Structure 1
Amino acid sequence: MSLLLGSLLLLGLCGNTVSGGQPSTTDAPRTWNYELPETNYETQDSYKAGPIGILYRIVHIFLYVVQPRAFPEDTLRKVTQKKFQLSTNFDKPENVLLFLKVVYYELGIIVCALLGVLFIILMPLVGYFFCMCRCCNKCGGELHQRQKESGPFLRKCFAISLLVICIIISVGIFCGFVANHQVRTRVKRSRKLADSNLKDLRALLNETPEKIKYILAQYNTTKDRAFSDLNNINSLLGGGIREQLRPTVIPVLDEISTMATAIKETKEALENMNVSLHNLSNKSAQLNSSLWNKKQTMQQSLSDPVCMVQPTQETCNSIRMSLRQLESNPMLDQLPFVDTELNMVNNILRTNLDGLIQKGYQSFNDIPETVKSQTTNVIAGVKSVLNSIGSEVDNVTQNIPVQNTLSDFAVYLNVTESYIQRSLPKLEEYDSYWWLGGLVICSLLTLIMIFYCLGLLCGVCGYDRHATPTSRGCVSNTGGVFLMVGVGLSFLFCWILMIIVVLTFVVGVNMEKLVCEPYSSRELFRVLDTPYLLNDNWEYYLSGMLFNKSQIRLTFEQVYSDCKKNKGIYASLHLENSFNISEHLNIKDRTRSIDSEFDNMNINVNVVLLVDAGKRNLQDFADCGIDKINYATYLAQTDKSPANVNLVSFADDLSAKADQMPSGLLKQSLKKDANDIRGIHQQQVLPMEQSLSTLYQSVKVLQRISSKLKENVNRSLNSLESAQNFVTNNISSVIVEETKKYARTIIGYFEHYLQWVEYSVSEKLASCKPVATALDSAVDVFLCSNIIDPLNLFWFGIGKSTVLLLPALIFAVKLAKYYRRMDSEDVYDDVETIPMKNMENGNYGYHKDHLYGIHNPVMTSPSQR
């Protein structure tokens, strides 16, 4: 069923070829991946026999013993090509050799079959003569048992042997029942298996149009991504150009911007320095006057008569000696002003250097917008080309004859499904006949075993070792009768059973060795792929049937393997020989027009980092003269105090000395002078110290800026010149490089898409895995697993049981003598132990050691026999 379905599927798909091709390698970006929606199929890929698989493996081991030879590929090829004919071609040596090869391969099967035929012929004859012999009171037909010393031992051996054989036969019968049941249950499952395969094949039919729609829909995704990049050409292409120039441009502009900041800092430092110098000059004269006046006042106070008296005189003299310290720093008045340098810097700042630098930044940052404004027409042209590619892809995809092929195959599928629906009831009916026949066969063997087992049971249980052969009990005698009934049934049916075993053996073994095993190992496909095997004019049958070009290497094994890997029909059947999708979806033809559009792109970008006025401004700053200022002089004065002495300490010391004097005008005057000195420090010295601190900071700033000022300015100007030259000379190549990269990105989207379309159509579209699964279901599951394996298990079990009936009936005949009631028995002469025959009761006495002789048997009625 499924085999026919799979063949029709392949032929149906071959009727109208589906196009496809192998994907070509490309540098397309992998920013995202397309994936065709996966289809979940219902039918399982693999089949497991379950626990009964152990029995199947035992049978396979036996088959290997019977037929250990490898699959005869060459012999089968020659037989298939009709190079050997049994009736007419024996005159050719090669045909005789071929016949011998066939016989050699089938030797094990032939030997076993001949043994079976011999069994079939001999068993009825032996049974016939055995029956006739017993009717003549021969072959054990005489109901007389000769007493032997080994009699009990032989009885036990016969019983045990028969029991063991019965157990082995029962195992074979069990295998027969199991195999018979497996055939019935698995044939019933065939409907479900067929429905599952048909469902998967219909899923294949239904999913293909949906996948084609999905493939076409992905073009819009690709186009939207490309259009988004085209609309953002300012950030992608312009931004790329800007990023290429950034390492050269931005550091230079930042350095010049630092120079502009330095000019501002210089102006501020010069202004602060000038202010501080003016403050120090004015306040230094004021401090000098205040200290001189205070010295005069204190000298007048020290002329007081109190200073003439000890010990006040010493204190006054000490104060008088310290007055010389009350002087200001005379160098603060002599520090030169920086008005000239400040005026030069102010002249420099009249040129808005910051504005010029910002124009340089703006010129650099405007590159993306410049690119966008200059590429409007090119972008419109590229979009038009991309729209046309979408139409061409749609046309190519629609021209692939998938729909027609699927329609034709749907007709084949419907016909096959109708055939299966009609055939399954007949198959189930035939299976019921087979099941009933197998049940009868197993039941016959079971019946024989029942008689043997009942005979053993009754014989063992009813046997009395003290009873004489003629006085055995009814139970024991019944056991013997049962054994003889089993023997009779064995002779009656065993040859019929062997006929069935031989027939099923020959069919089952050859099907297993010539179909099932080579199918699993794919050797059968290699035979079918033999050149000129199925058609004398075609080297390869499939390629001849598909393309009428038999030299194309397209094999059954390759198609089956590709379908097992879930490849598409296009790649599996090499349909590029009929419709080459690579030619219809030529990526280079589709992208060449996009390249030409980008080649026509003309972008002019003019980046001016700094105009000449800004350069002159920087040069003027280098010549402003701040590097010629004697900063050491200023720094030396900033480390000194405005007064020669610490006025606060001086005032504290003066107050302490005033406290040592007696109360009076002098003491009060000195106290007042100490407070005045503190006031001078607070009002004049502290502001001057603040001015000195500001002067120090300004000098440090100017010293830092002026250090190697000309070198720094010249280096900045050189860097600026170098960067400007690089931008001017290389911006064209940068634009070309970034344009190619940008174009490659846009083209890459469609190369990636077209490559995916080609790959999907060739490898994934209409994947033929359901075909391989249907073929596996037909051959491996239905034929081999559901029919051949149970069939082989059936003849294996029944055949083993039938063969063992031969030793079983021998032991049963031997054992029946020990259980049945005899008509006569041996007499032993041993009067001391056992009396002689008592004629009144008809019993015979016997002794186990001394055999005297045999008396005429006491005749019994036929019923007693």
Structure 2
Amino acid sequence: MAYQNLTNPSYSADAAPDTGPIKVFSDMVHSYLNLVQRNDFPPAFLEQILKTPDNINFNTDQIKEVLMYEVGYLVALAIGVVFIVLMSLVGFCFACCRCCGNCGGKMYQKQTKRINCKRRFQYFFLLVVTLIILAGDICAFYSNSKIDTAVNNSFTSFNNTMDNLKTYVNTVPQDVDIIINSSSAPIDLANSRITDIGPVLGGMIKKDIEAVANPTLDSVQTLVNNLNATQQSLNAMNGSFNALVEQQNQLVTNLTALRQQINNTLSSCGSPCSSGPSIEDLAIDANFQNVPDISQSQKAIDDVLNSRIADTIQKARQTLNDIPQTVTNQTKTSVKDVQDQLLNIQRKIQDVRGSIPIVDTLATVNSYFDMAMNYSHQYQADIVKYNYYRWIVGICLSCIILLVVVCNLLGLLLGPCGHRAHVDPTDRNCASNCGGDFFMAGAGFSFIFAWLLMLVAAVLFAVGGNVYTSFCKPWSNQQLYKFVDANVNLSKQLNINVSNLSISSLYSDCEKNSPLWSTLNLGSMINLDEYLNISAYTGDVNSTLENTKIDVSDITFMSNSQRDQVTSVTTSGVDALNFTDINQQMTKNITKTNLISFADQLDTLADSLSPGSAMDELRNESIALRELQNSIDANLVPAIKNLNTSISNLQAKTKDLPGSLNVTLANIDSAQKYVETNVSGIVKDETRAYLNTILGYFESYINWAKAMLTTNLARCKPVAGALDSAEVIVCQYLVDSFNAFWFSLGWCTIFFIPSIIVSVKLAKHYRRMKNGDVYETPNDHLEMATTSQQFLIPRPTAKS
């Protein structure tokens, strides 16, 4: 039987996980967060909160437990707070000192032998630090954009995931209906077989009976054919004998008359004819008058052939051919009862659908999906709007870092452009001085905004880091599923009375694309063997057909009278007819002397006589003998040959006739006994085989339905795909991008410290100094101050 295929829905593509450089950067963030949070998940306090959500009362021990769990984050936040405080304090002090002309605020640079080497080292060191900050700022820009893209695309991905789940959930009842409705296939096929019970069951019975009856009927037909052939041979032999006797009698008459004439002629001729031939040889030598009596055999065969045995054979064959119609006529009532029982079977199978609670449960689950999608549409506009504000703030923060980077890069670009190694610091050109000013501007901006950037990074770190370590990380390694399993009764949530149902096992099975039956362990709740047990109804079909009376035993191969007549043929002696005398006679000459030779002698005698009446008579009689011989050759000889052929054919046919007739009679007796004793058994056996065929349709369907329900129905790969998509959307698209942003801010802010130090030091090499040194040699120089009076040439002064 061909059953309808289950639905094969098409699903939208699942959210693809991040790959490439962003994946490498995310792994860096994950490594840092794993270093910060090294405690195992889940914390004990979280389990207690979930178990008693209505009675949350944190005592000292619980607070201590929370702090111990968050110790890594607290340490990191403490470092951030110290950074904010110290950076602000140092920046304030630095600004005050420089305003007072201290801390490098004096516009004077001491010239040393290694000043060029220091400048180059500081230049390349600041260049590396600036590039590192620039790389972090690029990551900040990209992460900020990635968050925006993730927020905007997450709604589409979320809707696609929900659509996939709804499609999956909707296919379950459809597939269940397909499986249940496929019961019409065996019902229709069984009904068709029941409707055609005559041709089908009758044909089966007919085939079995014909296996014995047809060879027997064929042997009876062969018997009739043999008797017909034997009868024809007897008639042919009898006709040949009568024709031969008639020819012989005619020959005797003619030969006797001719002999008397010759005798009279010879007697009247007297002494001249005394030397003539003896007329005693003109007589018949072979006598065909003695033929065996075949009348008894002929009568016996005629009696058989006239007993309407051909009609008996035809009637038997017609009875066999009428078996299908006989079965149809005798099972009309049973067929109607069986058709009613088939309807009961179909109703029983249809009731199975209502016994599968998962169908109604999935309808409830579908409502949750609709609710989630409604919430998504409801808050989408607000989320997009506030995300835009967040994006602007992220751009501003990234631009602050970019401002410092630009100042450093301008300083690195302009500083060397106007710098000359042997030019007095007080005479440095404008480009070099601008480069130094940009270095100081970058350091100033770093002091001004470092606390803000670190504050933002710390707050985002506390939120995003905890979301990753307490939610995304256990979600990725499936610890979250085990935690939910330990604290949430999934069976109760789904309203399914199934034990040992867990999200972990559900996800694991769905990853393997297992069917819903094994995934939800529905076998412990639904006994399919009980629901699909239709043996009571099939038993009614069985008993109805087995109790149906089917009688096809009215088959007669040969009546008793016909059998007696055939037996009389075997005892008629048809095979023992004695043709010895006839055969001996056929070996003799027809006449004692050859008539042609006798005629020649008469001609010779006539030639010796003088012309006269005697000579003419002898010549005439010689001609008559020759004509008579020609008549013998033309008529009697062929008649003898025909008789010989007829006897040979008859003997060939009658030689084994009694034996073959006895064998045929034995076969008829055996076949008749078989029909009389075994036909009822054949009817029962074939009825049982017919029933097994019909019931086999239902057994095949039940096995197929069980296989479909337990191994093919609702393979839940889309569920695992939906969970994976949710993890990708929430954790990789949103949380990882969020964490990458604060990590980039923190990265850049930390490198502000070496950037400030090196920028301030490098600025002295490029800014125009107000005080300079006097060089004694090209390589050595001494510090000089414009305010010093030590080496001034004395001038005369006028005294008043």
Matched, 1:32 2:2: yes
The structure-2 alpha-carbon separation of the partners of 1:749 and 1:740, relative to structure 1 and needing over 3 Å to count, comes to same
Select 1:542's aligned residue among 480, 491, 510. 491
Instruction: Give distance in 2, aligned partners of 1:209 and 1:183.
Output: 39
Matched, 1:427 2:375: no
Select 2:127's aligned residue among 160, 163, 174. 163
Shift of 1:198: 5.7
SS across alignment from 2:557: coil
Instruction: Give distance in 2, aligned partners of 1:56 and 1:254.
Output: 89
One-letter amino acid of the counterpart of residue 448, structure 1: V
Matched, 1:735 2:689: no
SS across alignment from 2:544: helix
Select 1:60's aligned residue among 16, 23, 27. 27
Instruction: Give distance in 2, aligned partners of 1:356 and 1:462.
Output: 136
Instruction: Give distance in 2, aligned partners of 1:815 and 1:240.
Output: 110
Select 2:770's aligned residue among 807, 812, 823. 823
One-letter amino acid of the counterpart of residue 854, structure 1: E
Match of 1:88 in 2: 59
Instruction: Give distance in 2, aligned partners of 1:798 and 1:790.
Output: 12
Instruction: Give distance in 1, aligned partners of 2:39 and 2:230.
Output: 102
Instruction: Give distance in 2, aligned partners of 1:711 and 1:70.
Output: 107
Q: So what's the TM-score if we normalise by structure 2?
A: 0.73
Instruction: Give distance in 2, aligned partners of 1:492 and 1:527.
Output: 45
Q: Is the 8 A contact 1:67 1:109 kept in 2?
A: no
1:418-817 alignment, distance < 5 Å = 418-465=374-421, 467-530=423-486, 533-534=487-488, 540=489, 542-543=491-492, 546=495, 552-558=499-505, 586-608=533-555, 610-613=557-560, 615-616=563-564, 619=567, 698=649, 703=652, 712-750=660-698, 779-817=726-764
Deviations 1:96-128 (A, max 9, x none): 8x669x64xx66655555544443343333333
The structure-2 alpha-carbon separation of the partners of 1:411 and 1:508, relative to structure 1 and needing over 3 Å to count, comes to closer
Shift of 1:334: 11
One-letter amino acid of the counterpart of residue 363, structure 1: T
Instruction: Give distance in 2, aligned partners of 1:471 and 1:631.
Output: 166
One-letter amino acid of the counterpart of residue 478, structure 1: C
Q: So what's the TM-score if we normalise by structure 1?
A: 0.68
Matched, 1:143 2:98: no
Q: How many residues align?
A: 720
Q: Is the 8 A contact 1:287 1:684 kept in 2?
A: no
Instruction: Give distance in 2, aligned partners of 1:376 and 1:520.
Output: 69
Aligned sequence identity (%) = 29
Instruction: Give distance in 1, aligned partners of 2:569 and 2:115.
Output: 141
Select 1:365's aligned residue among 321, 328, 338. 321
Match of 1:299 in 2: none
Shift of 1:545: 7.8
One-letter amino acid of the counterpart of residue 823, structure 1: K
Instruction: Give distance in 2, aligned partners of 1:541 and 1:244.
Output: 62
Shift of 1:354: 3.6
Shift of 1:542: 2.8
Q: CA RMSD in A?
A: 5.4
Instruction: Give distance in 2, aligned partners of 1:140 and 1:624.
Output: 157
Deviations 1:54-97 (A, max 9, x none): 41354235524642769635746466446999952539xxx98x
The structure-2 alpha-carbon separation of the partners of 1:237 and 1:168, relative to structure 1 and needing over 3 Å to count, comes to farther
Instruction: Give distance in 2, aligned partners of 1:48 and 1:110.
Output: 34
Instruction: Give distance in 1, aligned partners of 2:12 and 2:656.
Output: 86
Q: Is the 8 A contact 1:173 1:797 kept in 2?
A: yes
Match of 1:23 in 2: none
The structure-2 alpha-carbon separation of the partners of 1:385 and 1:827, relative to structure 1 and needing over 3 Å to count, comes to same
Q: Is the 8 A contact 2:443 2:756 kept in 1?
A: yes
Instruction: Give distance in 2, aligned partners of 1:401 and 1:379.
Output: 37
Select 2:146's aligned residue among 153, 157, 182. 182
The structure-2 alpha-carbon separation of the partners of 1:759 and 1:429, relative to structure 1 and needing over 3 Å to count, comes to farther
Q: Is the 8 A contact 1:204 1:766 kept in 2?
A: yes
Q: Is the 8 A contact 2:29 2:740 kept in 1?
A: no
Q: Is the 8 A contact 1:525 1:557 kept in 2?
A: yes
Q: Is the 8 A contact 2:464 2:735 kept in 1?
A: yes
Match of 1:227 in 2: 191
Match of 2:86 in 1: 122
Shift of 1:233: 0.6
Shift of 1:804: 2.8
SS across alignment from 1:90: helix
The structure-2 alpha-carbon separation of the partners of 1:158 and 1:273, relative to structure 1 and needing over 3 Å to count, comes to farther
One-letter amino acid of the counterpart of residue 690, structure 2: Y
The structure-2 alpha-carbon separation of the partners of 1:573 and 1:689, relative to structure 1 and needing over 3 Å to count, comes to same
Shift of 1:791: 1.1
Shift of 1:437: 1.7
Matched, 1:855 2:784: yes
1:89-488 alignment, distance < 5 Å = 90=61, 103=69, 112-196=76-160, 218=182, 222-268=186-232, 344-391=300-347, 416-465=372-421, 467-488=423-444
Instruction: Give distance in 1, aligned partners of 2:637 and 2:31.
Output: 119
Q: Is the 8 A contact 2:17 2:728 kept in 1?
A: no
Deviations 1:387-414 (A, max 9, x none): 3444556667579889987887787666
Shift of 1:689: 12
Instruction: Give distance in 2, aligned partners of 1:464 and 1:788.
Output: 51
Shift of 1:681: 14
Instruction: Give distance in 2, aligned partners of 1:478 and 1:283.
Output: 163
Instruction: Give distance in 2, aligned partners of 1:53 and 1:402.
Output: 42
Deviations 1:531-561 (A, max 9, x none): xx35xxxxx46348837x7x93333345556
One-letter amino acid of the counterpart of residue 492, structure 1: I
Deviates more, 1:370-379 or 1:345-354: 345-354
Shift of 1:606: 0.9
Which structure 1 residue ranges, 5 or more long, are not aligned? Answer: 1-30, 289-328, 535-539, 643-675, 831-845, 860-865
Shift of 1:352: 3.8
The structure-2 alpha-carbon separation of the partners of 1:694 and 1:446, relative to structure 1 and needing over 3 Å to count, comes to farther
Shift of 1:232: 0.4
Q: Is the 8 A contact 1:396 1:585 kept in 2?
A: yes
Instruction: Give distance in 2, aligned partners of 1:689 and 1:813.
Output: 155
Deviations 1:426-457 (A, max 9, x none): 21122122212211122212222122222222
The structure-2 alpha-carbon separation of the partners of 1:786 and 1:544, relative to structure 1 and needing over 3 Å to count, comes to closer
The structure-2 alpha-carbon separation of the partners of 1:284 and 1:414, relative to structure 1 and needing over 3 Å to count, comes to same
Q: Is the 8 A contact 1:587 1:751 kept in 2?
A: no
**Rg comparison, structure with higher value:** 2
The structure-2 alpha-carbon separation of the partners of 1:807 and 1:723, relative to structure 1 and needing over 3 Å to count, comes to farther
Which structure 2 residue ranges, 5 or more long, are not aligned? Answer: 253-284, 591-626, 789-800
The structure-2 alpha-carbon separation of the partners of 1:407 and 1:195, relative to structure 1 and needing over 3 Å to count, comes to same
